[in-house]
Structure 1
Amino acid sequence: MPPVGAALWRSLRAHQVYGANTDVGKTIISTVLCNAVQGQKQQAAFLKPVSTGALDDADDQHLQRYGAGTLTKCLYQFDDPVSPHLAAKDKFVPRDDDLLASIHTTLSGWARSNIDFALVETAGGVHSPGPNGNSQADLYRPLRLPIVLVADSRLGGISSSISAYESLLLRGYDVSSVLLFRDEYYQNHEYLRDYFQKKSIPLVSLPAPPARPSQLDADSQLRDEEAMLSYYRKSAKQSEILRLLEEMSVNNTERIQRLEEMADRAQELIWYPFTQHQGMKAKDITVIDSAHDDYFQTFGSTTSKDAQGELRPTFDGSASWWTQGLGHGNPELSLSAAYAAGRYGHVMFAGAVHEPALALADNLLKTIDNPRLTKVFYTDNGSTGMEVAVKMGLRASCDRYGWDASQEQIGILGLKGSYHGDTIGVMDCSEPSTFNKKVEWYRGRGHWFDFPLVKMVGGSWKVEIPSELQAELGENVDFASLGSVFDLSQRLESATAQRYKDYIRRTIEDLVQRQGAKFGALILEPVILGAGGMLFCDPLFQRCLTDVVRDHPELFSTNAPAPKQSPSWSGLPIIFDEVFTGLYRLGRRTSASFLGVHPDVAVNAKLLTGGLVPLCTTVASEEIFDAFSSTEKSDALLHGHSYTAHAVGCTVAVDSLKTMAQLDTDGSWDAYRTDWSSSSPTTAEASTPDVWSVWSHGLLQDLSSADSVESVFAIGTVLSISLRDAAGGGYNSNAAKGLQQKLAVGGDQFNVHSRVLGNVLYLMSSVTSKPESLREMERLLQSALV
């Protein structure tokens, strides 16, 4: 089922009617509004997605009888007068996606038919379940129609009305108006008018409808119908109702106008990250009205001539810069954030503690499952978390080896193409590149090894050795499967591993003993170097690099102690930057597990909070922690942020980790694992079921054989496509722009927002992406590369 776009049309003013409770008069309010529209010589329409109870009492039938010509439709009718999830039991039940698609199709048809005004009425209260048992507030959220909230005029109605409003607000709905009946005894309308006035939401109160006769014989039924017709004629002419309809019309127009102006205003006011503004035009800016699940709802990426609407679903192909794990607008995470905000707001953390920070530290240590790591340090984002990690590593090395960093330069060891953030300190932990070489304070302190790459070319997996290193490391090697690339228990016994280790050891000896370099830490992005160009490093090379560093401390200092058993660090502190690759991005809890290495410091961000709020953790061993322990305050780790360990982020992270751990064990990813294990020509893949991807193995084989493709790889949620470039590729290449533009046009169901790194176009899903969305993405890719 294709994704449903948010519902917005220029000609059709569509709203959704929610009730603060059951039996609050939603259908009567809907009838009043539709009568008023019809009285203005405009065409109104009423849609009841799900109706329960006798057909004679159905809400759409009431609109047919009293709606003054209102067009009516009901999508699913169940006979039992109970909640939809009970009424639909043991009957054909439409999937939520099917129900949403039917609603959107109906509204689109009405827009084509020049209907002016439409109401989509829910059943019961805001959280009454739909046919599949899901809260209506969540069920209908992808449509994000502006809301007409029918408040409760009865005893307790103030509380239920405000609660209903807050539930809608938490899910990103816009409540455009509130209506209710006047009750002169409880006077809820007076209190609620003041409450909503402060929020600039108009409230209209109506006289209560005439009471129905207790017994309906033919005469009393006729009198009842005449009374209701009279009630609707009078109510529909009330000035407040007419003003409200005008306001609804103005709001619809102004909403579209704001969307139309956003790109131009953004170009005037905003300085974008990683963007050369020279030559940039407003049309190059993606205008996002909202986001839900894997999709942005974007404006201006489609025309309205087919009346599909002004907004189009756009797959978030970069997972919003690698942060999205559990989908946009995730209601559970939103509620977690609201709870923490209500309980704490933000509280000072230095010398204090609160439950979310403590719970996250405990949960994270168990998730990472690294016996070396014992202490959790909180920061705000990956770059600052890496700054802390560098401080930790350098202090520990200088303390152990007696180096004075104020008198001599202490560098780091890493890999070419590494990228650890944009703050000044960690910029120096990367080789000169487009990202840093024009930053005036950049110095680049360290040595960065070139390394073999893993890629699929022409349907086969291979480890490709850089041409300048083939004399030392050997020729390229083909592998039967991706699982066999990660079979380090076998590969560590190979001649290739010995060549890797010899090359690494000789290089470090030359740097330290002959060139006089000093190194304070080994810093790696495990498995994939992200911003450097989605470089898939041979895991054997990274493993050999860590082994040489740990097994040969004498390489770094003549007074180095002999290697100790874990958890003591040896040689250099090993820092793993898992900001991008950690916490299930590659299909496992940690990317370190692919290497069989327990780092001394690990940094996590991005997926830590499921993609909702910024938060980062730098987790260190007890020995690293002890390097900062002394009687002097100045020896402490003097690093912090105003929002360190903010309670909102910590609470969301706890729930995010819990949800992802459940997905890992409840079978949610079994189909992907089966696809990758069954695609292997050997049994090696089947023995390593955790080497898998949400992107189908067949897709990689097809793409890797395309004429325009140099190589591909996929692991976990990541898909990387390197396009051929006669100029050699690199960050400044434009080779991937054409593919990016084709995906932006998209197909009938959706288009794709993606990012490129030079000649590399990468795509990334969340860990909750629906298989049907991913398969459609694959079809778009294959079509674009033909």
Structure 2
Amino acid sequence: MSLLFKNLRVHQVFGANTDVGKTILTSALVRASAAKKNQVFYLKPVSTGPLQDADDEHVKRYAGPHRALVNAHCLYRFDEPRKEGARNVVVPTDDAFITSVASYIRKCASDPVTERSHMYVETAGGVHSPTLSGTTQLDSYRPLFLPTILVGDSRLGGISSTISAYESLSLRGYIVDSVLLFQDEYYRNWEYLEPYFAERGVKVSTVDPPPPREADPGRNFIVTEEYYNKITSEHNTGGLLNVIELLDERHEGRIKELHSMPQRTLNTVWWPFVQHGLIKHEGDPSSPSAASSVSLLESQFDGSASWWTQTLGHAHPALTLAAARAAGRYGHVMYPQATYAPALRLAERLVHEGPGKGWASRAFISDNGSTGMEIALKMALRVASKKFGFAPQEQKKLGVLGLKGSYHGDTIGAMDACEEGVYSCEWHEAKGYWFEPPSIGIKNGRAFIEVPSAIAPERVEGQPLSWIYNVSARLGTSLATAYRKHIDMALRKWRIMVPLFTGLWRLGLRSAAPLLGAYPDVSVYAKILTGGMAPLAVTLASDDVFRAFEGTSKTEALLHGHSYTAYAIGCEIANETLDQLEGLARGDSWKAAQVAWKAERGEKEMEKETVVDGDRAVWSLWSPQFVDALSKLGIIDQVMSLGTVLAFKVTDNDAGALFRFASPFFVL
């Protein structure tokens, strides 16, 4: 939702605390912008108290000689600050609130007279003061990512509150263009803050404090008007007109940077999974629009959730704080034969409470899913060699049994564990055999099992979805017998499960193992593990696997690691992510979805259903009505939904056609 216009320079004004002069300094900025012949828009999203004391009314009252260029507006007005328990106040959701702010900004940008204009969005209170819904302002306004002006605190303790506010803004990705504060001659906070912020590339500007408020309204107006005249005068060296010039420079610099980024990227960057030979000009990367009243920043739907990593949304505040917490406490320290709380807590909860509960005894932490798979393969190769007594030459010829269409990452070992395919190249040597697996789908509202033709007829139709997922009840069926004939029982002795995509609540369960009725010897977790904030992977292993590497020689150990193994920042983020996921799993939205699927199935079907940890295993956050309607579309061959995942196949034979149709709207 980020907004950047050629014709409208927008800044958001935060205060280091309440009563720091935010409205006075914002009013002065409005007046100074108008004095430089700019159309000026002032927005106070939320105002409380009597109308005559409202901040937008103050801006209008002291707009100065160029008041015709000033437009002040308020979106939500209340008689008093919202109190807990107030029943008669209709409070907009965070999404509705921030959408209304963004819509008003776009409206101002599209004003036909705004060839060159400025806009100031003034927040209320301090940076962590709550909004209407109770969310702190920092988190509520964050989707806009507007350039920020921070009004510092000139009073006793103001140095601390100003720096604290700045760090809170920075932790959430805000860019502070300027710090303003009153020049209090007693505390002289600016003398400390100027060099502090100069080191961080932020200019601190000071303004004389306002005169005391006069009891007589007429006299007060005259005194206040004189004050605004003084601090916005062009003769005031280093005054607010200089601040306006600085803010204009920052705005123009952003636009210049944005326009230059596509070509600079093509000149220097080597993208993964991109054929650069197909990119012919700088317009191929996402580039800005030419219209001055249209935002140069265009929102796109992250269709792949940034390659299936974004668990809680981009840059969730709790995860950014976890990263900062661990970075500040630990930085990075070596992990082998050492321990620290984030890594230990993560290992213990995954083994004893999480997906490893009941079968795993150890957690091997690495850097990403592909590396986690390399580790899992090394574990499996060692165990198989010991178990079956393979000679050294036989060990070199070992391969894997897998599923067609599988993908484990792009490192050489992980690639070699996959069949030949479109990504095969000179360094790929497929080592193994890959079965074509059955799949589950829904078409025209009826669930079915699609079985490879070598095993059974193409589709086994008509069974309830809950029965299909009830593995224990299906072990005695003719279809299970067909599976057994197709796959020798000996091939099931040792198993690696790869829940990189499906694990940790992605399918609505902490682990899919109970649903499958099979527990692994080795299991790999990544992607969702850190909520999409940082790379990290954990390979869980059973005690038998761990013991296969025990010995008296170091060469018998699992000799795999990297410089940032089990780095504290990633582990702390992972622990916070697991906390958030556990909260979601217990939350109202998940319970409501489970109730909806329960109502859809009916009591008879539910009697056949698998129950995991007391919860129904077969449910989805996608409503059963939506899944049913989607399955009945002619263009849809089949659809399946479980937990957070919705998957569907289209009937179009040209798979590229769907990609070409979707790519303008989604980041795929």
TM-score by length of 1: 0.79
Q: Does 1:604 align with 2:531?
A: no
Q: Is contact 2:515-2:617 (8 Å) kept? A: no
Structure 2 CA distance, aligned partners of 1:27 and 1:699? 48
Q: Please state how far the C-alpha of 1:644 moved relative to its aligned partner.
A: 0.5
Q: Does 1:256 align with 2:252?
A: no
Q: 1:284 to 1:259 in 2, by over 3 A?
A: same
Q: Please state how far the C-alpha of 1:228 moved relative to its aligned partner.
A: 1.1
Q: Does 1:594 align with 2:594?
A: no
Structure 2 CA distance, aligned partners of 1:282 and 1:695? 40
Hey, what does 1:403 align to over in structure 2?
Answer: 390
SS of structure 2 residue aligned to 1:654:
helix
Task: State the identity as a percent.
Answer: 43
Hey, what does 2:591 align to over in structure 1?
Answer: 670
Q: Please state how far the C-alpha of 1:304 moved relative to its aligned partner.
A: 4.8
Give the one of 488, 499, 503 matched to 2:486: 503
SS of structure 2 residue aligned to 1:18:
strand
Q: Please state how far the C-alpha of 1:394 moved relative to its aligned partner.
A: 0.9
Structure 1 CA distance, aligned partners of 2:262 and 2:444? 41
Q: Please state how far the C-alpha of 1:57 moved relative to its aligned partner.
A: 1.8
Q: Please state how far the C-alpha of 1:283 moved relative to its aligned partner.
A: 6.4
Give the one of 22, 46, 54 matched to 2:42: 46
Q: Does 1:37 align with 2:37?
A: no
Q: Does 1:452 align with 2:438?
A: yes
Q: Is contact 1:481-1:685 (8 Å) kept? A: no
Hey, what does 1:106 align to over in structure 2?
Answer: 104
Hey, what does 1:270 align to over in structure 2?
Answer: 269
Structure 1 CA distance, aligned partners of 2:191 and 2:278? 55
Q: Does 1:422 align with 2:397?
A: no
Structure 2 CA distance, aligned partners of 1:88 and 1:71? 32
Structure 2 CA distance, aligned partners of 1:227 and 1:205? 20
Q: Please state how far the C-alpha of 1:490 moved relative to its aligned partner.
A: 2.0
Question: What stretches of structure 2 of length at least 5 have no aligned partner?
Answer: 611-615
SS of structure 1 residue aligned to 2:333:
coil
SS of structure 1 residue aligned to 2:540:
strand
Q: Please state how far the C-alpha of 1:598 moved relative to its aligned partner.
A: 1.1
Counting only pairs closer than 5 Å after superposition, residues 455-466 of structure 1 correspond to structure 2 as: 455-466=441-452
Q: Is contact 1:587-1:717 (8 Å) kept? A: yes
Q: Is contact 2:13-2:148 (8 Å) kept? A: yes
Q: 1:89 to 1:345 in 2, by over 3 A?
A: farther
Matched AA of 2:631: S
Q: Is contact 1:383-1:423 (8 Å) kept? A: yes
Q: Is contact 2:356-2:540 (8 Å) kept? A: no
Structure 2 CA distance, aligned partners of 1:181 and 1:12? 27
Counting only pairs closer than 5 Å after superposition, residues 15-26 of structure 1 correspond to structure 2 as: 15-26=11-22
Structure 1 CA distance, aligned partners of 2:462 and 2:85? 56
Structure 2 CA distance, aligned partners of 1:92 and 1:458? 42
Q: Please state how far the C-alpha of 1:280 moved relative to its aligned partner.
A: 2.1
Structure 1 CA distance, aligned partners of 2:221 and 2:247? 29
Q: Is contact 2:452-2:458 (8 Å) kept? A: no
Structure 1 CA distance, aligned partners of 2:155 and 2:370? 54
Q: Does 1:442 align with 2:428?
A: yes
Hey, what does 1:622 align to over in structure 2?
Answer: 543
Hey, what does 2:613 align to over in structure 1?
Answer: none
Hey, what does 1:575 align to over in structure 2?
Answer: 496
Matched AA of 1:133: G
**Residue by residue, what CA displacement relative to the aligned partner does 1:86-105 show, whole Å, maximum 9, x if unpaired?**
69664222222222122122
Counting only pairs closer than 5 Å after superposition, residues 527-566 of structure 1 correspond to structure 2 as: 549-550=491-492
Counting only pairs closer than 5 Å after superposition, residues 155-554 of structure 1 correspond to structure 2 as: 155-213=156-214, 216-217=215-216, 221-237=217-233, 238-240=236-238, 241-282=240-281, 285=284, 287=286, 300=288, 304=291, 307=293, 309-365=295-351, 366-408=353-395, 409-435=397-423, 437-438=424-425, 440-467=426-453, 469=454, 472-505=455-488, 549-550=491-492
Q: Please state how far the C-alpha of 1:396 moved relative to its aligned partner.
A: 1.1
Structure 1 CA distance, aligned partners of 2:223 and 2:85? 32
Q: Is contact 2:128-2:137 (8 Å) kept? A: yes
Matched AA of 1:377: F
Matched AA of 1:27: T
Matched AA of 1:256: I
Matched AA of 2:333: V
**Residue by residue, what CA displacement relative to the aligned partner does 1:520-547 show, whole Å, maximum 9, x if unpaired?**
xxxxxxxxxxxxxxxxxxxxxxxxxxx7
Structure 2 CA distance, aligned partners of 1:700 and 1:282? 41
Q: Does 1:127 align with 2:114?
A: no
Structure 1 CA distance, aligned partners of 2:85 and 2:14? 20
Q: 1:595 to 1:194 in 2, by over 3 A?
A: same
Hey, what does 1:716 align to over in structure 2?
Answer: 643
Q: Please state how far the C-alpha of 1:717 moved relative to its aligned partner.
A: 2.3
Structure 2 CA distance, aligned partners of 1:286 and 1:681? 50
For the aligned residue pairs, the C-alpha RMSD in angstroms reads 2.2
Q: Using the TM superposition, name which of 39-48 and 636-645 deviates more.
A: 39-48
Question: What stretches of structure 1 of length at least 5 have no aligned partner?
Answer: 288-298, 506-546, 551-570, 746-751, 756-786
Structure 2 CA distance, aligned partners of 1:78 and 1:337? 38
Q: Please state how far the C-alpha of 1:85 moved relative to its aligned partner.
A: 5.2
Q: Please state how far the C-alpha of 1:135 moved relative to its aligned partner.
A: 0.6
**Residue by residue, what CA displacement relative to the aligned partner does 1:387-409 show, whole Å, maximum 9, x if unpaired?**
00111111011112221344541
Matched AA of 1:452: P
Q: Is contact 1:206-1:235 (8 Å) kept? A: yes
Q: Is contact 2:41-2:120 (8 Å) kept? A: yes
Alignment coverage as a number of residue pairs: 650
SS of structure 2 residue aligned to 1:734:
helix
Matched AA of 2:169: L
Structure 2 CA distance, aligned partners of 1:418 and 1:135? 43
SS of structure 1 residue aligned to 2:482:
helix
SS of structure 1 residue aligned to 2:261:
helix
SS of structure 2 residue aligned to 1:167:
helix
Structure 2 CA distance, aligned partners of 1:87 and 1:155? 34
**Residue by residue, what CA displacement relative to the aligned partner does 1:259-310 show, whole Å, maximum 9, x if unpaired?**
23322222222222222222224567554xxxxxxxxxxx64x7757x4633
Structure 2 CA distance, aligned partners of 1:370 and 1:250? 57
Q: Please state how far the C-alpha of 1:67 moved relative to its aligned partner.
A: 1.7
**Residue by residue, what CA displacement relative to the aligned partner does 1:97-139 show, whole Å, maximum 9, x if unpaired?**
2221221222222222244111111111110111221111111
Q: 1:407 to 1:738 in 2, by over 3 A?
A: closer
Q: Is contact 1:9-1:309 (8 Å) kept? A: yes
**Residue by residue, what CA displacement relative to the aligned partner does 1:47-102 show, whole Å, maximum 9, x if unpaired?**
1111222322221121111122121112222223x5x5569664222222222122
Q: 1:712 to 1:280 in 2, by over 3 A?
A: farther
Q: Is contact 1:386-1:603 (8 Å) kept? A: yes
Q: 1:315 to 1:670 in 2, by over 3 A?
A: farther
SS of structure 2 residue aligned to 1:684:
helix
Q: 1:631 to 1:722 in 2, by over 3 A?
A: same
Structure 2 CA distance, aligned partners of 1:89 and 1:63? 31
Structure 2 CA distance, aligned partners of 1:389 and 1:648? 23
Q: Is contact 1:412-1:429 (8 Å) kept? A: yes
Matched AA of 2:199: K
Hey, what does 1:76 align to over in structure 2?
Answer: 76
Q: Is contact 2:39-2:118 (8 Å) kept? A: yes
Hey, what does 2:91 align to over in structure 1?
Answer: 93
Q: Please state how far the C-alpha of 1:180 moved relative to its aligned partner.
A: 0.4
Structure 1 CA distance, aligned partners of 2:265 and 2:166? 31
